[in-house]
Chain A
Amino acid sequence: MTFAKKTVDTRSMARRIRRHIVQMTHRGRSSHVGSGLSIADIMAVLYGKILKVDCKNPMRDDRDRFILSKGHAGAAVYATLAESGFFPVDWLKDHYKNGSIFSGHVSHKGVPGVDFSTGSLGHGLGVAAGMALSAQRTDRDYRSFVVLSDGECDEGSIWEAILFASHHKLNNLIAIVDYNKIQSLARVDETLTLEPFSEKWRAFGWNVAEINGHDHDELYNAFEQAIASRNNPSVIICHTIKGKGVSFMENSVLWHYRYPHDGEELNTALAEIDSEEKDI
């Protein structure tokens, strides 16, 4: 059985994902709104155009695997899955609530479409590599996609996995780095510099693309190119803006933690996201 052809307007989908993220973090008074907004375009292009997934049969064996390794942006995954038909959008209202299955860090328990739970950084790439290796060794065609944060690349386990994937020529493994240059407490280059970042991945044997992570055409082309790789794993380093789409959240450490408060903050945030749609 083939996967349904996708005809999604990914820009419009990204806007809806952003609206959900702002509303979910507002209602839940939760952190990480900036981290979610940072990857909204990546998620929209992945689920809108690239991933072979089936919302009617989320556990299909031949589905592409997706792991959000930067689990703190879980709201973006839940919003994307809801927008992709895995469960009703209405469920998102439970995010962060007492008794809810929608935890701040993404969890698979009871949530259709989530392949893997994360939250502690540095786990997703190795697990995605294991999924890719499993496909390689059993002649299955699915691909493994994993979204990493830049701060997460401080973790030694990430570099273990980078070595591993290259050694085993996991051409079915595609890593996406949300390189928004801001980690938990400060800017990446003030914390642990990753640069020269592309060169590091390349030296480890990966195909490297460096793109604007908010440009849907660039994202689509980079994914297609990565999928076509015959020998090596691929990384797409996405230059992004933390808090993208809401001007007062952009490029700010504060919005790693602060939630959009009632009134002007929330209204302005939603209005700016909506106006972005009109610009398009």
Chain B
Amino acid sequence: MRDAFIAELSMLAAEDDSVALITGDLGFGVLTEFANKFPTQYLNAGVAEQNMTMVAAGMALSGHKVFTYSIGNFCTLRCLEQIRNDICYHDANVTVVSVGAGFSYGQLGVSHFAIEDLAVMRALPNMTIVAPSDPWEARILVRQMHKLRGPKYLRIDKGCAALPEQPDDVKLGKARVLRNGSDITLIGIGAILGQALEASDQLALVGISARVIGYHSLKPFDANAAITAASETNGIITIEEHTIIGGLGSTVAEVCLEANTPPGFFRRIGLNDQYPTIVGDQDYLRAAYSMDADSIVSVAKSALDSSLTD
């Protein structure tokens, strides 16, 4: 997905000389071509994310469309106040690009797990938040983000959901119904949507019809898709490779309750207010922290059972 982002950004940089990419000294081998091709639109700010973000704000307020780039929490949490004060308050045209959603860098340890980013970025006014599920979707969304003014956050995953390419179906701010279903709804964000789809296959084998909705945009949030699912199916399970606090699950709960349409049951799958203390690859950690397809199936069955018994 990272390569897809850079490929699309390179096309945009060729079309629009106000596009600028600033890295916090990360992206070995990935950014070289961009740097060589667009030397005046590229900058390595060094290992100094606060300054990278301040410089980005200054450049954006002087006419550039800036993309800051780093791994995981370095370009978000390390420089959160710069994002808040310098970018969001000024409505500056900066896209913060974080590579390594969730457990993407699973072996590197908790410093490299981006597991609170969606919640924290969502709390910032003016911020647009995008988390694609697949490289092809990332390219389409990067192009749409380029057209959109103001602060933006792009969450790049190592994994991918392997959704079939349907470019016309991808619109920033709109949810995608990936599979129709009437018994329950699985709502996911980012590459972990692949696990939701796999879970829906498994559930189909035991006669449970699961709707699957993908949210590549957390903000603005397509409230209708969630509210409709709450009213048309027995309940909702949200899946995010992220803490269950403040991200996708919280957003779904908020919009459904505010619309007076509480789902029949509601479960959030994600990290349950904890820091992982083990390492492993993305698949391993998803299973270890109960957010893989099997875990989703198990939660779905028990939630459906208990709702039917009630």
Contact = CB atoms under 8 A, between A and B. Distances in A.
Contacts of A157: 50-51, 54, 82
B81 A120 contact: yes
B57 A130 contact: yes
A117 B86 CA distance: 8
Contacts of A135: 62
B89 A127 contact: no
Contact of A160 (B20, B50, B59, B62): B50
A44 to B, nearest CB: 25
A65 B82 CA distance: 19
A160 B90 contact: no
A211 interface: no
Interface in A156-186: 156-157, 160-161, 163-164, 167
B58 A126 contact: yes
A134 B64 contact: yes
Contacts of A138: 63
Interface stretch (B40-48, B149-157, B183-191, B223-231): B40-48
B78 to A, nearest CB: 11
B55 A133 contact: yes
A124 to B, nearest CB: 8
Contacts of B63: 61, 134, 138
Nearest to B22: A130
Given A126-B54, A161-B54, A131 B61 contact: yes
B232 to A, nearest CB: 43
B41 to A, nearest CB: 8
A137 to B, nearest CB: 5
A117 B45 contact: no
Contacts of B118: none
Interface in B73-118: 81-82, 85-86, 89-90
A209 B21 CA distance: 34
B66 to A, nearest CB: 8
A129 interface: yes
Interface string B7-50: 00000000000001000000000000000000010010110101
A117 B85 contact: yes
> Which residue, B51, B55, B82, has most C-beta atoms of chain A within 10 A?
B51
Given A123-B85, A156-B50, A160-B50, A134 B59 contact: yes
A138 B19 CA distance: 12
A128 interface: yes
Contacts of B54: 123, 125-127, 129-130, 157, 161
B56 interface: yes
Contacts of A130: 54-62
Contacts of A61: 63
A120 B83 CA distance: 12
Contacts of A163: 46, 48, 51
- Which 6 A/B pairs are nearest by Cβ-Cβ distance? A130-B58, A126-B54, A134-B62, A160-B51, A130-B55, A160-B48
Interface of A: 61, 65, 108, 115-120, 122-123, 125-135, 137-138, 144, 156-157, 160-161, 163-164, 167
8 contacts: A108-B90, A123-B81, A126-B50, A127-B86, A133-B55, A133-B58, A134-B59, A164-B48
